[in-house]
Chains A and B, each alone.
Chain A
């Protein structure tokens, strides 16, 4: 899933200072699950904006609404009336949702209300970890299903660096060393010799390094 974190309320309030009719737009997918931008958070954010403006003596009209999936045009279309009534939209969807809104409603400004952080998963209640960078050329089959690109702070391909200690990454004691996990899992399956091969430098052109990516599939085009 895509994981995000709501921006500090003060930052959101400041960003909508000049507007009178504000719509806070949640998304029903990933950000609902990671409790950053679902219906509950949209309502809370709208309330916070409204209270703060009232206190400042500049009351505004703030509504909140949640769209099932902000990253597809069809879903956005269903709420056209509500969206067009507003002066500005604060989207609590990930960066993709915010941009889908701006593409679809060209005459309206949609501002981001969350910081999109990473692709990952919740490992326990309230704890999410990053585990894929969308590099465009997956190597998980070589690393026992643990991503060396996302889970190693240096995206190394040939084994752990010299900073790995007690299973932790040198970057922080809170961060697991991805390579420690890979080596342990290789040992568990008696496959450590798989690491002997000197892997060539990664071809980063399939990642964002190659420029913004686009995928075209003729077989599914209409």
Chain B
């Protein structure tokens, strides 16, 4: 992106050499269009929001929450202030807005639930509350920390102030180094506030994002396992204090709602899998999965989508809306990650890998998840030997879902459960010794 005096040129998919050439061309000519950009947008000088070009991945949807990404300087508070950020809201106004917002993603303590009641209970609880920003493991959350950290921090600080917390802790994966560094810099530049903001990292393991394991990690436990609940973290959390755990997406929605006076009503979604480049887009909540999937360029013909993160639901129906209730009605997840699968993908193999991943990566605490995921992977392997027993698989997944301690085990069976209903014939074909996609049986027989 080259920008000067209200005109911006966009270059996509640049190598380092290409970037050097673009910079050289601009230095020589002073013209943002000198190096033949893929798109040019004319906008007024002093533009505070992203000037969206007609380019794949960027033209889709709207930009309320992701507005600052790629445009405002991530760690410069002046840029955030220029769009009306750092409002110093009345605590009651924050709580009221919480009634119109819900928690984004399974890593949020209030996943898909309105926020106001939980905020109110934390505000009135005895003990010093803490606000934890859980940025561990979701692409959109990492993007927000890297590109617009003040949206998350502004929301977190406003919330801390509203519930009487003196401390905000940003928690991210130790692997997301750039996000961690950027949010650290942003926190250091944060305008004077009585609320301290710390940034901590946890192990780069999938389960470490589960809210109670995030708290265990912040407490310094050398081994991460989930806590039993109730009471949940909002009553007894970090070092026993009332603790709110929200994702950067949730808090960015708060930050935007505070300055705009009303919620954005959008969903931030990431498309990944068999695509040329993964993209994170923001769409109105009235949109369908189709709009989201269309934002990315697929590398093959569409076969299925796994909707809702690592343990999402598998579907071939993209007419489903992106609202959590529409997704839930179709047994799909609302984590905001859609993985598209091209037609050379085998669904039995795909869900088998998810089940094995769950067996390898669970914390080991509860029987339905620790032993259930192992047995699930075994039942799926049995399919290859002709031992396809859908009732046994469904019974096991039901029990994992109703009796696991945390969201990991509750969700771990979802890929298999949904694939069984949407792609039953593939399982039957495997039981007959045939892989319709041709991807997983040959190597076995070889």
A joins B in a complex: no
Q: Which residues of B contact A (CB under 8 A)?
A: none
